[in-house]
Structure 1
Amino acid sequence: MISLVTAAIAPAIALLCFFYLKDEYEQEPVHMVFKCFIFGALLVFPTLFIQYALQEEQVIQSLLMEALVQSAFIEEFLKWFIVMLTVYSHIHFNQRYDGIVYATAVALGFASAENVLYLLSYGLETAFLRALFPLSSHALFGVVMGYYLGKAKFYDKKVRYLFYSFFFPFLLHGLYNIILLTQDRWIYFLTPFMIFLWLLGLRKIKKANLNQAAYFSKKAAS
């Protein structure tokens, strides 16, 4: 049991440390990041309840609805909502990159709890693929979400960027699900999609850090 939980959570902790340490200027308090991780993990339970209710009421009538509504929309909206509720207005959310740290922490908390439940059902032999695809994808959806939340907080056009912070993770998650549900040889399609996600995520990280560098340079010169 302990080995199973460790196998489910350890990759998420490693990814969270990676994104946390990518902050080149002012890293966030560990207790705030941990709180977001826990909130993300707890989101699994209302998510499962809503998804079960949709199935019971036969609201989901197609694979497309399952991919976009039952999974992508519900999961990304709840993650977005909990970030907005708990940290968006917090004093520690004071730089562009902070959005990436907090949104990724929520996403990886969610993915970890989901991973524990999955490995309990299907065994340790699925741990590697779970870490490679679902866990990593949740983290990268979180990076995209957090990037736009950072822009929404510190730039004009807040409504636009808040919309982007939900819409783009939802769109990417939906595409991920569509590949998984509609392709028999899904790994041949999902592998290049994951490479694209990583490149996109790393680009957002670089841009967030560059914006922070410009801010600190301007602050030092004033």
Structure 2
Amino acid sequence: MIALIGAAIAPGIAILSYFYLRDSFEPEPISMVIRSFIFGVLLVIPIMVLQFIMQTEWNWRDGIVAEVIQSAVVEEFFKWMVIFFTAYKHVEFDEPYDGIVYAMAVSLGFATLENLFYLIINGTNVAFWRALLPVSSHALFAVWMGYYLGKAKFSNHRQKKRIFLWASILLPITLHALYNAIFLAIQNWLLVIIPFMVILWWQGMKKVQRAHDYSSKNLSSRPQ
């Protein structure tokens, strides 16, 4: 059981630690990061209940559209809501890169408990693929969400702020929907999911670097 728990939580903690330690300007209080992670963990149960209601009461069980709404829309929307109301408006969100840190914490909290439930049901033999695909994908969707939340937070233009806020929710939903569609609609999904994940990592790391650049400019422009 200890090995199973370790296999379930290790990928999320490792990825979160990597992105947290990349914040070389003003690292977020570890208590805030842990709090965001716990919020992500707590999201799993209400989301599972809502998805169960969709499947049983609303009869949304099969098809790409049902899967997209139940998974991509519901999960990314609730993660965005938690980040927006608990971190985005917080005083500690004081540089653009912070958006990525908090989005990553909430998303990986969610992915970690989801991963634990999956491994309890299916065993540790799928732990490697779970770390490589579902857990990593949640982290990469969070990069896009956090990147645009960071841009929105520090934009001085009302119209641009709105655009960035919409991008912070719509782009992760779109990427999550594409991720799910690959497994549902393509028989040889492995041939597509590998390049898809490579592109996600490539573009995600570019977003991370840009967020660092924005943070550097934001800090240098503050009055001394």
TM category (shorter chain) comes to over 0.9
Q: How does 1:178-217 map to 2 (within 5 A)?
A: 178-217=181-220
1:170 matched to 2:173: yes
Alpha-carbon distance in structure 2 between the residues aligned to 1:66 and 1:2: 35
Normalising by the residue count of structure 2, what TM-score does the alignment of the two structures yield?
A: 0.95
Q: Which amino acid aligns with 2:10?
A: A
1:192 Cα deviation after fit = 0.4
Where 2:31 maps in the other structure, the secondary structure is: helix
Gaps of 5+ in 1: none
**Structure-1 separation of matches of 2:142 and 2:133:** 14
1:154 CA drift (Å): 0.6
- Paired residue for 1:102? 102
Q: CA deviation at 1:180?
A: 1.1
Residue of structure 2 equivalent to 1:25:
25
Q: Which moved more, 1:209-218 or 1:158-167?
A: 209-218
For residues 45 and 18 of structure 2, what CA distance do their matches in structure 1 show? 27
Of stretches 126-135 and 153-162 in structure 1, the one that deviates more from structure 2 is 153-162
Deviation at 1:164, TM superposition (A): 0.6
Distance 1:79 1:217 in 2: 31
Is the 8 Å Cα contact of residues 55 and 61 (structure 2) preserved in structure 1? Answer: no
**For 1:58 and 1:189, how far apart are their aligned partners in 2?**
31
Structure-2 separation of matches of 1:102 and 1:61: 32
Q: Percent identity?
A: 48
Does the 8 Å CA contact 2:95/2:218 hold for their aligned counterparts? Answer: no
RMSD: 1.3
The correspondence for 2:221, drawn from 215, 218, 222, is: 218
Q: Distance in 2 between matches of 1:174 and 1:140?
A: 13
1:62 shift after superposition? 4.5
CA separation in 1, counterparts of 2:59 and 2:83? 28
Amino acid at match of 2:146: G
Amino acid at match of 2:117: L
Q: So what's the TM-score if we normalise by structure 1?
A: 0.96
Q: Indicate the residue corresponding to 1:37 in structure 2.
A: 37
- Which residue does the alignment assign to 1:67? 67
Alpha-carbon offset, residue 213 of structure 1: 1.5
Gaps of 5+ in 2: none
* Number of residue equivalences: 221
